[in-house]
A and B are shown apart, each in its own frame.
Chain A
Amino acid sequence: MYKQLVTFTLTAVSLAFTSAAFSHTRLETPTIPDNTRVTNNVIIGHGCGTEGSTERRPVIGTSVVFPDGSDSTIIVDGQPYTGSLGDFVTNWGNIPQQNYNRAVFDLQDEKADSLGNVVGFWAGGNPLPVNMNGYVPFRVNAVQFNEESCVSSVKFYISIADICEITPTSGFSENTVGLWTHNSLGTPYDRQSTEDDGPASLTVTRTSALPASCGTGQVVEVKPSATQINRDMPIIYNGQQVWPQ
């Protein structure tokens, strides 16, 4: 019986490896309405390794960072915006809250800024089988819009590192970490890609009516700063940085 199981597992794994391109790490619910709390999950779809390779390494931890809004890059209708996120969102701060769960990883904790606002979270401790999805649960607190603004939606880009081996940043490669991050911030955590298609996203859509003068409204995007990624992407455990190292 055991041998049959092993054979079946190997077959399944092999099939998984030879199937379509590996999925990116994304949120289970990438679009939510404003003014509503939503339970969500980061979905880890595969382990580390060169795309097309038949060898994958299991993810042993993940690090997730939301833009803090204070020094983030804001884009409105595709153009850089020099005002503040507060022009569109009235309550950004302490929005993600990690849900305790040991179904995938044993250890976990939230990441907070100097004022205690949660800006991300991490989980780790068990190798996630390479042929299975890993769900890392969290809650998105209600995001509230400035109803006098013309904002119709806000997309927050969420940077994620799926760790397969603990290394210093100099050891980052496709075999040691999956970087679902921006490709041009200039940090050691940047995804090596010609397209900026790394980060997961959370889009909050407006449910209240736009002011009559707004037309179809403004589409806002929020990206983290390099300073924030360098500060918040590392995993700090019990006062000590455990990744990267």
Chain B
Amino acid sequence: MKYKLFDKMAHATLLISALTFSGLSSAHEAGATMDPAGTSASFTGFAVVSCTNEGNLPTSYLEASIKDNDLPQDNLLINLQVFHLGSGINRAVNTTDPISGDDQFSPTVKVEAGNGTYYLIVNKTGVGPRSFTVTYHCKAADGTHTPTDIGVYQFD
């Protein structure tokens, strides 16, 4: 019967799973390559991060930083902007990885707006592909990690 097709896939699934796990980064890190064709200085990534309560403990702020994984190139750096709109808190902040390829993140920045929706933008200062990693964490006032979810709205 045709539903046996599902059964035949079980072995392949195990192999795929093993390969996938080896490529995962830790939680609340996301990465990709901007401008893979090397033709767009205006390449932009745009994401939404949702922060909520951990039990009865509310989120106080979202902190984030960015790391350029490629070797340095003249006049080509990557930036991360974090912002929040609404509920009377309209705030934005920028951070730039000053040295590409050194395996160090940019200075961590944060926006304090409590539970709610925050936005991230990643961009760069010129033409050229850039592999990057962003780390982002919703946190309570005492530094406790709170639920952190991300969605992507744009990457081009």
Interface residues of A (CB under 8 A from B): 35-37, 60-61, 90-95, 105-107, 115-117, 124-127, 141-142, 144, 146-148, 163, 165-167, 237-238, 242
Which parts of B42-93 form the interface with A (CB within 8 Å)? 48, 50, 52-53, 86-87
Q: How far is the CA of A35 from the CA of B52 in the complex (A)?
A: 6
Q: How far is the CA of A37 from the CA of B3 in the complex (A)?
A: 34
Stretch at the interface among B94-102, B103-111, B121-129, B143-151: B143-151
Contacts of B151 in A (CB 8 A): 91-95, 117
Q: How far is the CA of A36 from the CA of B147 in the complex (A)?
A: 9
Q: What is the count of residue pairs linking A and B with beta-carbon distances less than 8 angstroms?
A: 85
Which parts of B130-156 form the interface with A (CB within 8 Å)? 147, 149-155
Contacts of A117 in B (CB 8 A): 151-152
Contact A124 B147 (CB under 8 A): no
Q: List 15 A-B contacts (CB under 8 A).
A: A37-B149, A60-B6, A90-B116, A91-B48, A91-B50, A94-B151, A106-B13, A107-B6, A115-B154, A116-B152, A117-B152, A124-B3, A142-B52, A165-B3, A237-B9
Q: Which of A61, A94, A124 has the most CB of B within 10 A?
A: A94
Q: How far is the CA of A125 from the CA of B1 in the complex (A)?
A: 12
Q: How far is the CA of A123 from the CA of B53 in the complex (A)?
A: 30
B117 at the interface (CB under 8 A from A): yes
Residue of A nearest to B3 (CB): A60
Residue of B nearest to A235 (CB): B6
State how many angstroms separate the Cβ of B28 from the closest Cβ of chain A. Answer: 13
Q: How far is the CA of A141 from the CA of B117 in the complex (A)?
A: 12
B9-20 near A? 1/0 per residue, CB < 8 Å: 110110010000
What are the 10 A-B residue pairs with the smallest beta carbon separation, nearest first? A93-B151, A94-B151, A60-B3, A90-B117, A166-B2, A125-B6, A115-B152, A141-B149, A142-B52, A91-B117
Residue of B nearest to A238 (CB): B12
Contacts of A146 in B (CB 8 A): 86
Contacts of B116 in A (CB 8 A): 35, 90, 144
Contacts of B147 in A (CB 8 A): 37, 142
Q: How far is the CA of A242 from the CA of B2 in the complex (A)?
A: 10
Contacts of B27 in A (CB 8 A): none
Q: How far is the CA of A40 from the CA of B1 in the complex (A)?
A: 32
B24 at the interface (CB under 8 A from A): no
B37 at the interface (CB under 8 A from A): no
Contacts of B16 in A (CB 8 A): 238
Contact B5 A93 (CB under 8 A): no
State how many angstroms separate the Cβ of B27 from the closest Cβ of chain A. Answer: 12
Q: How far is the CA of A106 from the CA of B5 in the complex (A)?
A: 12
State how many angstroms separate the Cβ of A111 from the closest Cβ of chain B. Answer: 14
Contact A238 B3 (CB under 8 A): no
